[in-house]
């Protein structure tokens, strides 16, 4: 079997358990789902029909983001960017 590097879906099923009653509820929602090693992105529309999304970064994704914005260690892991 091929290695899976991303998971995509055009609808998401959410399952929650009510804290007070313990009752389980499931809802299928029309939103785009994308999961990679960097994290999870949920995309859809807000109440006005405008595009909206939320991203949950994994630790690896946070590390990459920190490095891209200059907050990472001052090192060159691949050896091709040093002077």
pLDDT digits (tens, 9 = 90+) for 1-14: 889 999 999 999 99
The verdict on pTM exceeding 0.75 is no
Count the helices and strands in the chain (H runs, E runs): 1, 6
pLDDT digits (tens, 9 = 90+) for 22-51: 999 999 999 999 999 899 999 999 999 999
Phi, psi of 63 (to 5 degrees): -65, -45
The alpha carbon dihedral of 68, 33, 40, 56 has a sign of positive
Could you tell me which residues come within 8 angstroms of residue 57 by beta carbon, excluding any fewer than 6 positions away?
Answer: 38, 39, 65
At which residue do the structure tokens 């260690």 appear?
Answer: 73
At which residue do the structure tokens 């929602």 appear?
Answer: 29
């Amino acid at each position: 079997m091929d290695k899976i590097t991303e998971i995509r879906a055009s609808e998401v099923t959410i399952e929650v358990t009510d804290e007070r009653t313990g009752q389980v509820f499931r809802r299928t929602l029309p939103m785009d789902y994308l999961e990679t090693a960097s994290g999870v992105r949920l995309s859809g529309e807000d109440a006005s029909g405008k595009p909206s999304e939320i991203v949950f970064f994994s630790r690896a994704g946070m590390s990459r983001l920190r490095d891209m914005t200059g907050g990472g260690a001052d090192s060159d892991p691949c050896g091709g960017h040093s002077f």
